[in-house]
Structure 1
Amino acid sequence: MSPPDSPDGPELLAERSVLGIFIHPITLFTGFFGVGIVVAAVVYLLSSHQFTRANARNALNWHLSVFLVAFIGVILFILGADEGTAATTEVVSLPILPEPLATPSVIIGAILLFLGGVGGLLTIVFSIAATFKAIFGSAWPYPFAPDLLAWLGGLDLGDRGD
């Protein structure tokens, strides 16, 4: 039951939207299939409701951050790898980077892959927390998530929800 001064029903949806509340679990579950970023971006770009845009922006910033950390980790790890196993279990040597650069590349790549895995686990916790915050009317920015949309060339079209 809501307090006497808070709106109920349709009045509540004037300031909050169902999509603004459920964007977090939607991006969480679609993120397992690799389309969570696309879903959050589409909702962010197409929604005209400020609450929905703020929540979609927060989800998009987080999912983009985790994806970029993991992607850069994979690239650095592959660039630093000096040998791999082919389908015939034959060890193939394919150095891409010279040795002074290969070892730090593998180490940094492994650290970023670990952080990407931690980010993937935190996505579950943060999505649940953001959903509950949205239910109570707050567009909660995910911790540790930089505002990548502002960095990506002036896409600062909505409120971050701070």
Structure 2
Amino acid sequence: MPPQQTQGPPSTAEGPKLLEERSIGGIFVHFVAIPTGAVGAGLVYLVSTNEFTKRNARNALDWHLTVLGLTVVTFGSLFAYAELTGQGATDIAVLPSPLTTVASVLIPVLLSVWMLVWFWTFIVGFIAMGKATFGTAWRYPLTPALVDRFAPHVSLPGGWPLLIVVYTVLAPLIIGTVFFGPRDGAMFFASGFALIGLIMVLTPFAGVAMYLHGERTRPADAAWHPSVVVYIGAPIVVAVTGYVLSATFTDSINPAGDAVYVLLAAFWVSSLVYVVRWLTTSRS
């Protein structure tokens, strides 16, 4: 009888190699981007240094930018249709009847496509997450390469501090409009959307801009070496303290909401100090 060949244990060389090629950020960016959209994917793309994470964040960002564009077109068309047919704030119908008929068909189609795409976002997000688990940076289907095409051409005059300056200017204007602006009409709704944008978009990106400038793009021989952890962490500590005080010593029905306003105020002060320090040291 021919001698039996014994097989040794399966090689585990592929396992460690796979672990070296993938990253936790590259896997979970797809999951994070499902509820946060282009904002979450964009933040991960900006702060990531791992190539695998960056490629996955780029793929997620391409998809969610496409979805964002579809969202703007869909609800922009819906808003324009309502205003031009006298169903909005103006109560003035100026859209000709033939165009009204076409729009009344097109708007439901756009809304249906938008809902289908958002449902599909969950599916492709989890598919991409599964692919990343096994070391593949999977491109979402039917997605244009927006990041690779336009990112090299995007630049901020003055670098990341410009975004922090924009934040220090816009934040008090938005908060002031929310508290002291009109309580009805289009301006009221605009201020509400602006507040959401301040909380969900501008504040996170200002924090990332602070981190990128303080830790990466600032020249090594710069006269000022900011402690980014303090500038970003201190407002968070203040917000947590505000939440505890509001929940413990006041009759507020929404301590979390109070903490958000405290966070915005504290981060605005932190950003203002950062900008002043940057301006004074860069000119010295």
* Pairwise TM-score range, normalised by the shorter structure: 0.7 to 0.9
2:136 and 2:29 map into 1 onto residues whose CA distance is 13
Structure 2, unmatched stretches of 5+, are 1-9, 155-284
Q: 1:26 aligns with which of 8, 22, 32?
A: 32
Give the TM-score normalised by the residue count of structure 2. Answer: 0.45
Structure 2 counterpart SS, 1:139: coil
Cα deviation, 1:18-76, whole Å, max 9, x if unaligned, reads 01011111111xx2xxx331111011122111110111011111111112112211111
Cα deviation, 1:7-26, whole Å, max 9, x if unaligned, reads 32xx5443111010111111
The CA RMSD over aligned residues, in Å, is 2.6
Structure 2 counterpart SS, 1:84: coil
Answer 1 or 2: higher relative contact order, Cα 8 Å, separation at least 6: 1
Distance change >3 Å, CA 107–CA 77, structure 1 → 2: farther
In the other structure, the counterpart of 1:137 is 135
1:18 and 1:123 map into 2 onto residues whose CA distance is 20
Distance change >3 Å, CA 77–CA 42, structure 1 → 2: same
- 8 Å CA contact retained: 1:22, 1:131: yes
Give the TM-score normalised by the residue count of structure 1. Answer: 0.74
**Letter aligned with residue 86 of structure 2:** E
C-alpha displacement of 1:85: 7.0
In the other structure, the counterpart of 1:49 is 50
- 8 Å CA contact retained: 1:80, 1:96: no
Which has the larger Rg?
Answer: 2
1:109 and 1:3 map into 2 onto residues whose CA distance is 57
Structure 1, unmatched stretches of 5+, are 87-91, 157-162
- 8 Å CA contact retained: 1:70, 1:117: no
**Letter aligned with residue 14 of structure 1:** E
1:99 and 1:151 map into 2 onto residues whose CA distance is 41
In the other structure, the counterpart of 1:114 is 112
